Amino acid sequence: MFAIAVVKFCRQLPDTDEAQEEGRQLRRAATSVRRNYRAARRGRSRAEFEAKLGTVFEEADECVDCLEALRDTRIKSDTALIQEARELASIFAKSVSTARENSRRKKDFPNS
């Protein structure tokens, strides 16, 4: 739903070079969150899951940056969308941390 909201937001950006450039990057990052999260859930190994989840976090954080840049340059702002991007980045950061901790625990205690 976040990726769809971002696409709709980007459609409302002004037709200036700076707005369209930032909008394209935001749209790519948001759709990457969607696609890489799907890929993480379908990962063939724990390592692949963790790697994809790391990418999801990076792309979600990039969405925050793009949305804040659009706000700070007074091109366009959506407070709720910025908040959602921050929350997603936070959720995925914690997910990456938890996945790595679980992998370390599994290595330390393989039969538990």
Q: What count of Cα atoms within 13 Å lies in the side-chain half-sphere of residue 14? A: 10
Structure tokens at 24: 């394209």
| pLDDT of 24 above 60 | yes
**pTM of the predicted model as reported, rounded to 2 decimal places:** 0.86
pLDDT tens profile 45-70 = 888 999 999 999 999 999 999 999 99
Confidence of residue 99 (pLDDT cuts 50, 70, 90): confident
Confidence of residue 111 (pLDDT cuts 50, 70, 90): low
